[in-house]
């Protein structure tokens, strides 16, 4: 009877991941310790696995997305009331969404058990931007912009050079400086590839009903960020906004 109950999750093994900090930077690694506690009966564990998860907006609502997934262990047996501990390093991909606005990211740890409910543990993490993306944010702040919102959205087919099913969009509005009064909003989508970071940018100019009706109040460009120094990013970024506004 205990074997039957454990297959539906009653008295089954449990898993818990301990992180030294809930804050990580995209592109960095974080050490973790995984605790597996045996249940009321011996169980064969096919693997301990991790999944880095988020969600994105679609035309139908919201969909779950796996940013990355990997396996920690080979098969092993966890005996009843026993405990096993595993130390590992979690690599957080550069493409992991930044947790600002409505965006959330979780690390799911699971036990793969054949013909049974897989025990899971979820840990929400705070993901900071990569150094180069942070340089873009800092440069925009120096230019008088502030972050208004951020969200993950389904990737329009064929537009961005990424295999991910979604992209993260950041919206900034000028609060001061030379662009205040001329630019309504700057929207940015970062895309990581083998060449590094490419930022796709759209500038929404302040305009009347005529410009909006003619669809000429929005202009697009993209640029590659080669430097993590905000001062090196600021002038090319400002020039691009001037050109589009």
Predicted pLDDT of residue 113: 87
Domain boundaries, the chain: 2-128, 131-244
Question: How much is the average pLDDT of 201-211?
Answer: 64
Model confidence band, residue 210 (pLDDT cutoffs 50, 70, 90): very low
Is the model's pLDDT at 176 over the cut of 50?
yes
Predicted pLDDT of residue 159: 59
Q: What percent of the chain has pLDDT over 90?
A: 71
Q: What is the pTM of this model?
A: 0.85
Taking alpha carbons only, the member of 241, 231, 134, 229 closest to residue 187 is 241
CATH of domain 2-128: 2.60.40.640
Q: How far apart are CA 96 and CA 149, in angstroms?
A: 17
Question: How much is the average pLDDT of 68-84?
Answer: 94
What are the C-alpha distances in Å from 96 to residues 32, 45, 83? 18, 29, 32
pLDDT in tens, 92-108: 999 999 999 889 999 99
Cβ contact 104:55 at 8 Å: yes
Token pair, residue 230, equals 């905000």
Question: How much is the average pLDDT of 125-145?
Answer: 97
């Amino acid at each position: 009877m205990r074997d039957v109950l454990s297959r539906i999750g009653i008295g089954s093994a449990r898993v818990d991941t301990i992180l030294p900090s809930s804050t990580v930077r995209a592109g960095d690694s974080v050490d973790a310790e995984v605790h597996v506690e045996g249940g009321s009966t011996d169980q064969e564990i096919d693997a301990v696995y991790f999944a880095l998860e988020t969600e994105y907006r679609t035309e139908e609502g919201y969909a779950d997305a796996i940013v990355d997934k990997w396996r920690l262990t080979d098969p092993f047996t966890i005996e009843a009331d026993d405990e096993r501990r595993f130390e590992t390093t979690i690599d957080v991909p550069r493409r992991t969404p930044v947790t600002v606005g409505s965006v959330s990211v979780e690390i799911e740890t699971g036990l793969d058990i054949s013909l049974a409910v897989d025990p899971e543990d979820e840990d929400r993490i705070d993901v900071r931007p990569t150094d180069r993306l942070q340089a873009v944010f800092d440069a925009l702040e120096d230019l008088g912009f502030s972050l208004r919102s951020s969200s993950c959205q389904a990737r329009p087919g064929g537009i961005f050079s990424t295999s991910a099913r979604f992209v993260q969009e950041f919206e900034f509005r000028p609060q001061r400086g030379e662009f205040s009064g001329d630019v309504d909003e700057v929207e940015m989508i970062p895309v990581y590839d083998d060449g590094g970071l490419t930022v796709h940018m759209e500038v929404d100019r302040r305009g009347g009903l005529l410009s909006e009706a003619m669809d000429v109040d929005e202009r697009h460009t993209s640029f590659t960020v080669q430097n993590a120094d905000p001062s090196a990013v600021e002038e090319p970024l400002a020039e691009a906004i001037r050109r589009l506004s």
